Amino acid sequence: MICQNRIFINKIPDYNDKLNTMSNISFLLWRQRKTSRVLITDAHLKASLAVIRSLGKKNIHIAAGSEIKSAIGLHSKFCSKKFVYPNPRINVNDFLQNLLRIVKQDQYDCIIPTHTYTAFILAKFRDLFSNYTKIPPPDFQVFINAFDKQYLLNTAMKNNVACPRTYSFNPSDEGEDVIEDYPVIIKPARRHGIKIEICHTPSALRNKFNAMSRKYGPCIVQDYVPNGGELGVYTLFNDKSEPLALTVQKRLRSLNSYGGISTLRETVKNDALVDIAFHLLKTIRWSGVAMVEFRIDARDGIPKLMEINPRFWGSLQLSILSGVDFPYLFYKNIMHEEQTSTLHFKEGVQCRWFTGEISRLFSGSGKLQIIRDVLQPCAHDDIISLKDPKPMIASVFSPWDSSDDEPRDDSFLKNDEISIINLKQKEENSHENIAHFS
């Protein structure tokens, strides 16, 4: 079928030239528009809702999409157009084709993803959208530098950034014998938001490593770091790897005892941590938004690098409340608008996720303390807003999980598969009315 498509396309070069010309005309018309329009994906996530509200308040026309019909962002009063598309983690091809149709039907300045895997896909296939809209930075290879935990850890250690001890582990080589101290943890190298596995014995390590590797692909093994506090450096870098915006947040409560999604955090000052994070991001030539996550080792008080999340974070609303409008700054960065560095933020601002606080009642012991936490007043919430109340109602029925736990076929993302997408797109274009682009 692919060969047939290639033969068909090669027989009509003049028609393809017309399509390319019309695509360029469409791009020029898009650049001349006065009304700003942004398409936001992953509208079921709290970060997307924060982006929708932030840009909507700037009178930017917002369209939002998700694979979930009840997504909270789709119910915001700032969302002017709604889309439900195929799950990108299950069917990349259908997702890309659907998104391409959307951006060709309605011209958008840019697409802003907030799920790690959606950002991964759009960075990988950036060229597919180049005639229609802008995809946020960074480019794919730089994205991988942060996305791949094993590569990131190697880079960090070479640059004297403190990390948990990481082991080269292969169960078939009896590699667990080199591990002297337990517990250790296992986490996927290229999945984000997955619950880690804690192992206290060599046999548990071997069994859980095999199970996780089969499900998630390459995994890494690290020393368990006793929790002496968790902090994140949240930032935006320009295309020269220079910082444009900053907040630092300290996690006060989490959804689960092992960590996971935070339910209450506070902005704090920590210049030493900022220096470490900025040095690391500059080393990997980062551009765009990122969260650099650290855990303070309770044994020695040293902050250890956990990971970099190469997209907007779930606690984005707190950053906005502290005086740093990351979504709008990021939009201006994508559109190459000139802006100055904004590295100041309000300290001591708190924001919680009320739905997550309630969920803690069903996830473990200490329910009396959890009830006290829930009843403790907090001025700000990730979702609750009297001026935009519908997302809170929708959150009761909408999944809020941002994990990447579903099975997926990453073989589609190999370089030699790009031609398949291009061929399918050309075949689709050949059946469209050219006037569609005018």
pLDDT digits (tens, 9 = 90+) for 257-283: 666 789 999 999 999 999 999 999 999
| Average pLDDT of the segment spanning 60-64 | 98
d(CA 116, CA 191): 9
Other C-beta atoms lying within 10 Å of the C-beta of residue 61: 19
What fold, for 227-384?
D-amino Acid Aminotransferase; Chain A, domain 1 (3.30.470)
Stated pTM of the model: 0.86
CATH class as words, domain 2-137+404-437: alpha beta
Correct CATH for 165-223 of 3.30.1490.20, 3.30.420.40, 3.90.930.12, 3.90.190.20: 3.30.1490.20
Read off the pLDDT of residues 400-435 as tens digits, 9 standing for 90 and up: 655 566 666 565 555 445 444 554 555 455 444 323
- Cis geometry, peptide bond prior to residue 138 (ω within 30 degrees of 0): yes
Residue 134, pLDDT above cutoff 80: yes
Paired with 350 in beta bridges are 266
Give the Cα separation of 264 and 260 in Å (integer).
12
Residues 193-200, mean pLDDT to the nearest whole number: 89
DSSP codes, 145-162: HHH-HHHHHHHHHHTT--
Q: Mean pLDDT over all residues of the chain?
A: 85
> Which residue is associated with the tokens 């290639």?
6
User: What mean pLDDT do residues 274-296 have?
Assistant: 98
H helices of 182-325, in order, are 202-216, 271-283, 316-321
Domain spans of the chain, in order of start: 2-137+404-437, 165-223, 227-384
For residue 98, how many C-alpha atoms fall within 13 Å in the half-sphere facing its CB?
16
Helices 149-158 and 271-283: crossing angle in degrees, nearest 10, is 110
Structure tokens at 360: 């803690």
